């Protein structure tokens, strides 16, 4: 895997021109030892100046190519904004928009075929964890993509986001997160051993400036997908600085 950790910001349906300017200003002083990905709402992507300090990503992509799909964005429309990444399968898309594993697989294929790097989001709900089904859920979500398309792994990023920790203020302990990440890498090795060894696996779920260092110290945690804290420019910068090798 890359020696650099990847810190990705998911602004969800938040943001403004002022926030864009504030984040850009903070990141001008960022160490080159960490990779940063910013995923704001699609309407804000064109407001970011081209920069060596960060990459841009969309929060969703259509499984279709151009056509009569009102409200959707295909790969070409996304790349024209300057974005090079896209989030795929976020738990909020799965929960609120009914996205199935099969649909997520199609979206990931479209992303890779169009030259985008997908960040595949996976993770279990609180009920699934309480029922000790975490590994079964993760394995199923990974298999839906990589069992039939192992070649996609080398062109992906994987983000483990336990649903019970997203936006709740509750974060998995470093030990819990490491156990899940190690299992993910083990599962991926079944499909592409070389790809599994190199893929960056991010942790997401109430990551903040207080808990990030302990998470980044784990051997299989290669960065973070940051939600609420990414809307606070100074705190997001602290997280990025904590990820330096």
Q: Find the catalytic residue in 63, 90, 92, 181.
A: 90
Q: Is 65 a catalytic residue?
A: no
- Residue 227 annotated in ligand binding: yes
Question: pLDDT (tens digit, 9 = 90+) per residue, 135-190?
Answer: 999 999 999 999 999 999 999 999 999 987 777 777 789 999 999 999 999 999 99
The residues, any chain, with a CB within 8 Å of residue 35's CB and separated by 6 or more, are 2, 4, 5, 6, 7, 55, 223
Q: Is 90 a catalytic residue?
A: yes
- What's the mean pLDDT in 197-214? 95
Domain span at residue 212? 5-242
Long-range contacts of 146-149 (CB under 8 A, 24+ apart): 146/188, 146/191, 146/192, 147/191, 148/105, 149/105, 149/108, 149/109
Domain count along the chain: 1
Q: What is the CATH number of the domain that holds 223?
A: 3.20.20.70
Quick one: which of 67, 27, 22, 12 has its CA closest to 47? 22
DSSP state of 189: H
- Residue 140 annotated in ligand binding: no
- The pLDDT assigned to 245 comes to 64
pTM of the model: 0.96
Q: Is the pLDDT of residue 12 over 80?
A: yes
């Amino acid at each position: 895997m890359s020696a650099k950790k990847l810190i990705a910001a998911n602004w969800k349906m938040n943001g403004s021109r002022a926030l864009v300017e504030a984040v850009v200003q903070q990141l001008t002083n960022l160490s080159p030892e960490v990779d940063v990905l910013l995923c704001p709402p699609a309407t804000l992507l064109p407001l970011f100046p081209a920069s060596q300090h960060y990459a841009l990503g969309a929060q969703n992509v259509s499984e279709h190519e151009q056509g009569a799909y009102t409200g959707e964005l295909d790969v070409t429309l996304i790349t024209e904004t300057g974005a090079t990444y896209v989030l795929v399968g976020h738990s909020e898309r799965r929960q609120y928009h009914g996205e199935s594993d099969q649909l997520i697989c199609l979206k990931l294929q479209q992303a890779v075929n169009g030259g985008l790097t997908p960040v595949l989001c996976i993770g279990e709900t609180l009920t699934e964890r309480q029922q000790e089904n975490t590994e079964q859920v993760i394995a199923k979500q990974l298999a839906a993509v990589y069992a039939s398309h192992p070649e996609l792994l080398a062109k992906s990023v994987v983000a483990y986001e336990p649903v019970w920790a997203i936006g709740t203020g509750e974060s998995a302990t470093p030990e819990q997160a490491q156990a899940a990440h190690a299992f993910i890498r083990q599962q991926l090795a079944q499909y592409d051993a070389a790809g599994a060894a190199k893929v960056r696996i991010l942790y997401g779920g109430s990551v903040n400036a207080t808990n990030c260092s302990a998470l980044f110290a784990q051997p299989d945690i290669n960065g973070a997908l940051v939600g609420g804290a990414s809307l606070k420019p100074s705190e997001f910068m602290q997280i990025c600085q904590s990820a330096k090798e």
